[in-house]
């Protein structure tokens, strides 16, 4: 969610700090990525410092191996108001970590012969709406739901904002706002994270087994693994043992979020319980004599297969409710989760035989990132890192074919694609030994060739970038994103127009500092002259106001914009006002009334009017003008 105001305040404070803090009091912040605790006591102390720095009240931590528990702890407070301490048995929200439970459930039915990953979805859930114009040749399949390759939009703001305390059935949740479940591209080609995919798979499990999905998970996963308090619902145990979730100030609580489709991310569980869950993965599907799924099924969970990138040989990415990333020279598997005021991470290194759980009751990504580094560094401080693949050479043909500009063509939310087009272009330059990526703002990363089409970061053990020839053209797979080739002139045209439009619109605000006081003091009396000046300014103010509403919503964005509120209504009216004022600006600046102003004022009004008009056309084509975010 947007944090513009927070970032601006932070940057201003950082800029002022040298003048405000005595030299002897200055201390550079720790680079937690490089801190390697020498013992569990040091780890506990360092985590406590991270919690304090980030205003995160509490955490549940579990470090495990194949054979048992290395360390379990509750640090800080589960509830600030009462002073209740966090313990290893405190229940935290695990968010999207829940999706791994859906994948396990599906694989259980696959092993029982009741289902296949390749089965088309339509016959399995005839009672649920979704749309795919490629259904005749490329149907949405069960595997696409779990690997997020359906092409569906993510949940709408309305779905995120839903929090009905009356437990809805999965069918009711899926029927709440089904319009986002439309395949935007051919299923099984690109990955875009979508919260409605796993609930659709869970609905298939319900229909095949005849019992609610939550009951299936309780009997087949929670009970065998020894997770007695893990639950999808806000029950008495959650009210008694659950951690309160907090805003960034670490004091203001969030209410419990009754997730619309519970298989997407509703579970509450303790660090102790989730440690047992991770140990099941380390033991390849079993724990303490209870086998959930076969080793083959765990292997399948860990590897993506249904994207163009996977077919090109990229083995890291999003598998079945389980993804692999590279951290600190290791391939880390697992899943992250997040709800408002709470973050979770379950991760493991199967080759090393260790894993960990981090649960916190704040939404601080900084806290999660730093604690994760501390835990990873602790568990691997005596482990030899894998030797990276030997570097390869890049053919001249590949260098010529793939050097150029690319833009993300697998956005999580289609409504935000307009931002990717103007702010997210990535330049890829191929050399003899690898490639370099550079963002529009100059940030660079270098990769070494593993093969002519696969690339890895220096010292990293596996490829994370792939060059693709697809039916739709040349692409670059980078992490989870699919980047499509875009002609360089188009990039520069968009960028140039954006810069010119922003400069012109900013000048309207500066120019207003001159003419508005003159008008207020009666120096400007002719109405036509005022209108030519006023409408460009009004247009800019409407747009600035709309953006300010989004920025100011910050950590309450979903409740304020996923429902009909003064915030969402203000955004709708502000963007409509921007469109109308832009149209009036063009009419006045180029119409007969412009003769009532001086030449300089006239040309300035025309420049601002054209800038506002271009931005209005772009936002209108992107569906932003008059957007009712609560629908």
Q: In what order do the strands lie in the sheet with 330-339?
A: 84-85, 69-79, 58-65, 354-360, 342-349, 330-339, 323-327
Question: Could you give the angle at the alpha carbon of 283 between the alpha carbons of 281 and 286, nearest 5°?
Answer: 85
Question: Could you give the angle at the alpha carbon of 241 between the alpha carbons of 195 and 236, nearest 5°?
Answer: 80
Question: Is there a contact between 391 and 448 (Cβ–Cβ < 8 Å)?
Answer: yes
Determine the 3-state secondary structure of 20 from DSSP.
helix
- 474, containing H or E segment: strand 473-478
Residue among 142, 174, 455, 461 nearest 305 (CA): 142
Helix pair 527-553, 488-520: axis angle to 10 deg? 120
Cβ neighbourhood burial of 226 (10 Å; 0-12, 13-18, 19+) = middle
Cβ neighbourhood burial of 531 (10 Å; 0-12, 13-18, 19+) = buried
Cβ atoms within 10 A of the Cβ of 17, count? 10
Cβ neighbourhood burial of 381 (10 Å; 0-12, 13-18, 19+) = exposed
**Locus of tokens 């360092």:** 46
Tokens of 245: 């979730």
* Distance (Å, whole) CA 314 – CA 326: 13
Q: Is 131 left (phi over 0), alpha (psi -120 to 50) or beta?
A: beta
Question: Could you give the angle at the alpha carbon of 54 between the alpha carbons of 52 and 60, nearest 5°?
Answer: 70
Q: Helical H runs in 148-294? A: 157-161, 170-175, 197-209, 213-217, 223-225, 236-241, 271-282
Cβ neighbourhood burial of 413 (10 Å; 0-12, 13-18, 19+) = middle
Residue among 168, 213, 169, 187 nearest 130 (CA): 187
Positive/negative CA dihedral, 614, 617, 619, 624: positive
Q: Across the strands, what pairs with 20?
A: none
- In the annotation, is 297 catalytic? no
Q: Which of 39, 65, 96, 270 is catalytic?
A: 96
> Which residues are known to be catalytic?
96
């Amino acid at each position: 969610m947007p944090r513009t105001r927070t970032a601006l305040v932070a940057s201003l404070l950082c800029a002022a700090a040298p003048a405000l803090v005595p030299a002897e009091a200055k201390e550079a912040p720790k680079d937690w990525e490089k801190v390697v605790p020498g013992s569990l006591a040091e780890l506990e102390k360092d985590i406590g410092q991270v919690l304090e720095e980030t205003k995160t009240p509490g955490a549940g931590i579990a470090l495990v191996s194949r054979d048992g528990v290395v360390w379990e702890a509750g640090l800080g407070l589960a509830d600030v108001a009462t002073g209740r301490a966090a313990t290893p048995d405190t229940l935290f929200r695990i968010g999207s970590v829940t999706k791994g439970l859906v994948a396990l459930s599906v694989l259980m039915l696959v092993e029982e012969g009741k289902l296949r990953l390749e089965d088309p979805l339509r016959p399995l859930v005839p009672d649920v709406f979704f749309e795919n114009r490629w259904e005749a040749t490329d149907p949405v399949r069960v595997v696409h739901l779990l690997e997020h390759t359906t092409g569906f939009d993510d949940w709408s703001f309305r779905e995120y904002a839903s929090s009905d305390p009356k437990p809805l059935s999965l069918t009711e949740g899926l029927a709440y706002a089904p319009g986002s479940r439309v395949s935007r591209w051919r299923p099984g080609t690109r990955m875009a994270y979508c919260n409605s995919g796993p609930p659709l798979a869970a609905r298939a499990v319900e229909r095949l087994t005849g019992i609610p999905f939550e009951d299936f998970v309780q009997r087949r996963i929670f009970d065998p693994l020894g997770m007695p308090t893990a639950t999808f619902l806000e029950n008495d145990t959650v009210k008694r043992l659950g951690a309160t979730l907090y805003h960034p100030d670490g004091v203001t609580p969030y209410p419990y979020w009754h997730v619309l489709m519970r298989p997407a991310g509703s579970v509450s569980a303790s660090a102790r319980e989730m440690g047992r869950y991770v140990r099941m993965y380390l033991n390849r599907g079993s724990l303490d004599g209870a086998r959930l799924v076969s080793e083959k099924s765990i292997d399948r969970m860990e590897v993506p297969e249904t994207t163009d990138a996977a077919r090109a040989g990229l083995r890291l990415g999003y598998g079945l409710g389980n993804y692999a990333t590279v951290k600190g020279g290791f391939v880390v598997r697992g899943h992250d989760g997040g709800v408002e005021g709470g973050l979770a991470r379950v991760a493991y290194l199967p080759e090393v035989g260790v894993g960990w759980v981090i649960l916190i009751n704040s939404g601080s990504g900084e806290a999660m990132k730093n604690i994760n580094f501390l835990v990873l560094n602790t568990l691997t401080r005596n482990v030899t890192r894998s030797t990276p693949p030997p570097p390869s050479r890049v053919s001249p043909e590949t260098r010529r074919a793939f050097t150029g500009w690319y833009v993300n063509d697998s956005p999580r939310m289609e409504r935000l694609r307009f931002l990717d087009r103007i702010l997210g272009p990535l330049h890829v330059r191929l050399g003899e030994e690898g490639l370099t990526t550079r963002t529009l703002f100059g940030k660079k990363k270098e990769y070494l060739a593993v093969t002519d089409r696969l690339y890895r970061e220096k010292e990293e053990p596996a490829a994370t970038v792939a060059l693709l020839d697809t039916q739709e053209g040349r692409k670059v797979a980078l992490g989870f994103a699919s980047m499509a080739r875009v002609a360089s002139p188009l990039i520069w045209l968009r960028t140039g127009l954006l810069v010119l439009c922003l400069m012109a619109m900013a000048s309207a605000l500066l120019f207003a500092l001159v003419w508005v006081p003159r008008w207020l003091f009666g120096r400007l009396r002719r109405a036509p002259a005022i209108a030519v000046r006023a409408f460009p300014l009004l247009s800019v103010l409407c747009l600035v106001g709309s953006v300010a509403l989004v920025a100011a919503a910050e950590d309450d964005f979903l409740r304020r914009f996923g429902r009909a509120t003064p915030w969402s209504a203000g955004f709708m009216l502000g963007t409509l006002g921007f469109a109308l004022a832009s149209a009036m600006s063009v009419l006045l600046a180029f119409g007969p009334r412009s003769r009532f102003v001086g030449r300089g004022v006239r040309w300035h009004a025309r420049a601002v009017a054209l800038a506002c008009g271009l931005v209005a056309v772009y936002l209108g084509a992107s569906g932003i003008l008059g957007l009712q975010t609560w629908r």
